[in-house]
Chain A
């Protein structure tokens, strides 16, 4: 599944079927290559603030909605880093375009590959994601 497909999906609680909001952005841990959290934006006007949900609370990711077991908020909010559109830098210090999209396995949250403006990157080349760039291993 693509990150761009995940963004905008409604997040529905298994208990009661209440809609918690829509996915704003997935949070990626570049070191482990896993999606660790989902940033969720409330849909209703008074509740339009952003919340963070740990990936462990996700029951299933479908084409139409994300089902979550409980509405527990993550105790430690992850840094506000969006991987989509981020600059790609090799560990040798050369720029290699920007991230267009990320392919991940919706059942495990594992990142499989990245699409960049300079081509496709396998997930094992990820080194770190920071405020300046996504750093990838040079081959």
Chain B
């Protein structure tokens, strides 16, 4: 598995062809109805004042989702935005702010961000959650922001995500911690060429 990254950090990431040209930047990420996969990205222009583009990037056209850029093979792979939006929904519209409860009925908190796997998979691997006090005990002043792995099973009922109680217990403090729990080494940011 590749390096996990939060979906909100993808916004403004440049979209670059294998020829080295930056053609757009990511505006928002589109997830499928079950919040299991990325189905595409809506795009905006690269300039400061350029707005949303009419064309979007479907996931099959992505060569690799990297730490610093979304690589695509060809500019012609972009499709009209309506096609990409048809199967799923933009992140901001529903998943962010959704309630998370376990199948045992305990309320975990609300979704702050979605963690996806980089590379070519596009899987949703976890959620960043503003956890309830009961879920993460400790000091009143402690920030209760935890990462919860998505797990294999996830039920979506309206604006509520239901995760197995067992995966909720594997909540992690940060992305590096989550990556370790999922059995990936969180890639070192700097280093020699691979």
Contact = CB atoms under 8 A, between A and B. Distances in A.
A121 interface: yes
Interface stretch (A7-15, A61-69, A84-92): A84-92
B71 A128 contact: no
15 contacts: A89-B20, A89-B66, A90-B66, A91-B71, A92-B118, A92-B119, A93-B66, A93-B71, A127-B19, A129-B20, A130-B19, A130-B20, A132-B16, A134-B20, A135-B71
B158 interface: no
B90 to A, nearest CB: 22
Could you say which interface size class chain A belongs to?
20 to 34
Given A116-B193, A118-B193, A121-B193, A91 B63 contact: yes
A129 B19 CA distance: 6
Nearest to A86: B20
A136 B65 CA distance: 15
10 interchain residue pairs of minimum CB distance: A93-B66, A130-B20, A130-B21, A132-B22, A128-B19, A95-B68, A92-B64, A93-B69, A128-B20, A93-B71
A91 B18 CA distance: 7
B183 interface: no
Contact of B16 (A30, A93, A121): A93
Interface string A94-107: 11100000000000
A95 B191 CA distance: 10
Interface in B10-27: 14, 16-22
Interface of A: 30, 89-96, 116, 118-119, 121, 127-135, 138-139
A134 B193 CA distance: 14
B167 to A, nearest CB: 28
A99 to B, nearest CB: 12
Interface centre among A93, A130, A134 (most CB of B within 10 A): A93
Contact of B64 (A91, A128, A131, A134): A91
B31 interface: no
Contacts of B193: 96, 116, 118-119, 121
